[in-house]
Amino acid sequence: MADRRPCIAGNWKMYKTGEEALELIGELKDLIAGVDDVDVVVAPPFTALSVVADRIKGSNIQLAAQNLYWESEGAYTGEISPTMLVSTGCSYVIVGHSERRQYFGETDSTVNRKIKAALVHNLVPIFCIGESLEEREAEKTFSVLDKQVSGGVESIAADDIGKIIIAYEPVWAIGTGKTASNEQAQEVHHFIRKRVSDLYGKDIANIVRILYGGSVKPNNIVGLMVQPDIDGALVGGASLTASSFAGIIKFKIS
């Protein structure tokens, strides 16, 4: 993992009311109070951002949103701007999650616009990429990821690439209980880092953090984290229970 600081991010998706979010974050805050060697990020739904932001002030937990729109303001009913996220207390934002691509028509081009908007407002984009089961079985994994990486970072300056976190989520492993083997995950993470190196040079590629997502649990996190190109995890279901998420955050490589 070189000298890259691990990042464990929890994507709560469309779960947790404000009250439920407060209960979860309160438990988590207590369980991981002593952790100082991992960046811990939680991404509640928009409706719970403010209450969670208040609860984590002064703690070792940072706040992310699950999406954003690329304009700062305007007549875009139902959308949330980067300015609004910053004012709520967010320092990270998830961009291009497979569910956004699958259900809401996001493309490499719109993901690129969102990443640029996040960077302009000093939000750290967690830029999601990944292939479907059909694409993996057709041996298209690397061509799909090549297109997603290239499209997502198109015309982004080299100085900004190190501020982006990439999250590799094989779509076939999200919420299915299936996980890419440690070797499969490492192979893909290595490919992604090589692709960033081809575009921006080895020095920049070596500082970019690449997370793995897809049915990450306390019992499989260590096997993933020992891989040289895996720098953390974007956790879905297991982040909805404080004890399981804390178990992932407190992984220890012996």
Q: Looking at the annotation, which residues are catalytic?
A: 97, 169
Q: What is the 3-state secondary structure (H, E, C) of the chain?
A: CCCCCCEEEEECCCCCCHHHHHHHHHHHHHHCCCCCCCEEEEECCHHHHHHHHHHCCCCCEEEEECCCCCCCCCCCCCCCCHHHHHHHCCCEEEECCHHHHHHHCCCHHHHHHHHHHHHHCCCEEEEEECCCHHHHHCCCHHHHHHHHHHHHCCCCCHHHHCCCEEEECCHHHCCCCCCCCHHHHHHHHHHHHHHHHHHHCHHHHCCCEEEEECCCCCCCHHHHHCCCCCCEEEECHHHHCHHHHHHHHCCCCC
Q: Please provide residue 113's backbone torsions phi and psi, each rounded to the nearest 5 degrees.
A: -65, -40
Q: Taking the C-alpha atoms of 37, 43, 44 and 48 in order, what is their torsion angle to the nearest 10 degrees?
A: 80
Can you tell me the distance from the alpha carbon of 166 to that of 234, in angstroms, rounded to the nearest whole number? 10
Exposure string for 158-173, b = 16+ CB within 10 A, e = fewer: eebbbbbbbbbbbbbb
